[in-house]
């Protein structure tokens, strides 16, 4: 019996096409029905044309439909894939440029930082509405979320709609180990590894090939100049804490207080002419500023070259194939920490190995992370928790508190400046966070140190304060 796969946000430039090809590469999914959903009718039209080409190029019996009405598309769904961008390019530019005015230098900003918190505020309400629709219309369907900030959004959806069958998916785990295999010139299929942590900051704590521990060899590569130049902050974390992190340097550089708090550090770690992914300022704007998207999608729909069913390394199709009659598989997914990583908060969203078969997605207990790695993860989890609570409770003070707890922001600004920056961000993005329209962030008086002299208060100098 054919399966119905709903793709919400099907108008993306590449992602929808990739997942469609991936699913159709499995024999038992070649007759699937793809329900494409997007609020942009032009993008939806092109995504339909691309799927039509894929089906015809490979002489398949698969079918598709196009929908601007999400509820209509969800009828009878077996799996739901979510990959959306709430607000488009404009809020991304705002949440990059406004922090920079205050000295908070963001590269990607889709996971942590002021950008990650603001993206959570404008995206989580939309995903909660989708989750509620799924539970009402197709409660047995598994939801595969690819939308960032991954941990915050999965945490918030599961808290608001506990009946949802949900896993969050990223490609940093399998992508990261692929890079290491290439560096070591070892076939990827010969490497066994174990990984755990949180999204964009999970850790490879075991890497082996034919019984050989590869971690000492990998540690030695952190001080190889060529390797270091390519992923500076990532190699610094590995060098000092002993284990490789999954995500690339552009992300890693903004998740801690160590790499972007001063211009000289940005110059050392993040500005590399030969590799923008090392953490150049505003990289996220370059990624999403695509005025040529219509021409690109038209080109994909009308290309002369035949589409081949060549499978990518995304986990989505592997999960769907295993759930519906294919071979079981192990993937890395983002789920709530129900005793999976012993030394991370139980109320947190973690990234761990998951076993997938016809019975569902079953997270695998990892155990205890090395203490320094758990400490680094915990810095992020505190931000995530406050951001989720801020969105669910429509609490502007928790928006401020989440941003104040961000490691990079706290390394650069004092609390008064963080409050001013948060207020400016919320005001600039009021169109996309309507729940906060009647709940602006309260102002607080900004004080300088003064001393009493008779009936007057006199501002004290820094030198006097130090010597008193």
- Displacement of CA 301 from its chain's centroid (Å): 28
**Distance between CA atoms of residues 377 and 280, nearest Å:** 23
**Distance between CA atoms of residues 81 and 210, nearest Å:** 36
SS3 (DSSP) at 24: helix
Instruction: Quickly count: other Cβ atoms within 10 Å of residue 115's Cβ.
Output: 29
**Distance between CA atoms of residues 123 and 145, nearest Å:** 12
SS3 (DSSP) at 354: strand
Q: What is the DSSP letter of 169?
A: -
β-strands 33-37, 142-145 pairing:
unpaired
**Distance between CA atoms of residues 67 and 10, nearest Å:** 10
SS3 (DSSP) at 439: coil
| Catalytic choice (171, 271, 276, 281) | 171
Helices (H) and strands (E) in the chain, counts: 20, 14
**Distance between CA atoms of residues 259 and 292, nearest Å:** 34
Residue carrying structure tokens 């429509």: 394
Task: Look at the alpha carbons of 150, 154, 160, 166 in this order and tell me if their dihedral is positive or negative.
Answer: positive
Nearest to 149 by CA among 128, 135, 170: 170
Find the helix or strand (DSSP H, E) in which 361 lies. Answer: strand 360-363
The answer to whether 9 and 84 have CB atoms below 8 angstroms apart is yes
Q: Quick check: is 365 catalytic?
A: no
Please state whether 260 falls in left (phi above 0), alpha (psi between -120 and 50) or beta.
alpha
Catalytic residues: 171
């Amino acid at each position: 019996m054919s399966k119905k796969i709903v793709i919400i946000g099907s108008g993306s430039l590449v992602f929808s096409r990739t997942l469609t090809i991936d699913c159709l590469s499995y024999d038992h999914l070649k007759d699937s029905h793809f329900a494409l959903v997007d609020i942009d009718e032009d993008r939806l039209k092109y995504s339909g044309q691309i799927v039509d080409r894929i089906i015809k190029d490979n002489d398949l019996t698969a079918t598709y439909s196009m929908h601007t009405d999400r509820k209509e598309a969800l009828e009878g769904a077996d799996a739901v894939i979510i990959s959306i961008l709430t607000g488009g390019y404009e809020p991304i530019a705002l949440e990059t440029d406004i922090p920079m005015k205050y000295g908070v230098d963001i590269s990607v900003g889709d996971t942590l930082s002021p950008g990650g918190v603001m993206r959570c505020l404008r995206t989580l309400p939309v995903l909660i509405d989708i989750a509620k629709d799924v539970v009402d219309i197709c409660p047995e369907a598994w939801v595969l979320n690819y939308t960032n900030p991954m941990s915050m959004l999965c945490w918030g959806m599961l808290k608001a709609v506990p009946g949802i069958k949900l896993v969050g998916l990223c490609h940093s785990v399998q992508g990261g180990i692929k890079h290491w295999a290439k560096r070591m010139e070892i076939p990827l299929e010969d490497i066994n590894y174990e990984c755990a942590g949180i999204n964009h900051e999970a850790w490879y704590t075991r890497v082996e090939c034919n019984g050989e521990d590869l971690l000492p060899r990998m540690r030695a590569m952190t001080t190889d100049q060529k390797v270091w130049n390519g992923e500076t902050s990532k190699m610094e974390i590995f060098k000092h804490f002993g284990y490789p992190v999954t995500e690339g340097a552009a992300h890693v550089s903004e998740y801690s207080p160590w790499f972007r708090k001063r211009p000289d550090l940005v110059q050392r770690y993040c500005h590399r002419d030969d590799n923008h992914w090392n953490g150049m300022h505003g990289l996220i704007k370059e990624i999403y500023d695509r005025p040529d998207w219509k021409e690109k999608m038209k080109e994909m729909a009308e290309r002369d070259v035949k589409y081949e069913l060549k499978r990518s390394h995304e986990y989505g199709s592997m999960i769907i194939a295993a759930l519906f009659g294919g071979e079981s598989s192990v993937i890395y997914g983002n789920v709530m920490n129900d005793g999976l990583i012993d030394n991370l908060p139980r109320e947190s969203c973690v990234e761990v190995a998951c076993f997938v078969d016809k019975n569902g997605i079953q997270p695998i207990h990892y155990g205890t992370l090395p203490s320094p790695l758990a400490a680094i993860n915990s810095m992020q989890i505190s931000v995530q928790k406050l951001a989720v609570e801020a969105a669910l409770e429509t609490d502007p003070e928790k928006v401020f508190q989440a941003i104040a707890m961000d490691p990079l922001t706290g390394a650069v600004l004092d609390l008064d400046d963080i409050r001013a920056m948060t207020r400016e961000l919320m005001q600039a993005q009021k169109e996309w966070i309507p729940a906060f329209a009647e709940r602006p962030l309260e102002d607080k008086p900004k004080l300088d140190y003064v001393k009493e002299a008779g009936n007057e208060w006199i501002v004290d100098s820094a030198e006097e304060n130090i010597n008193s």
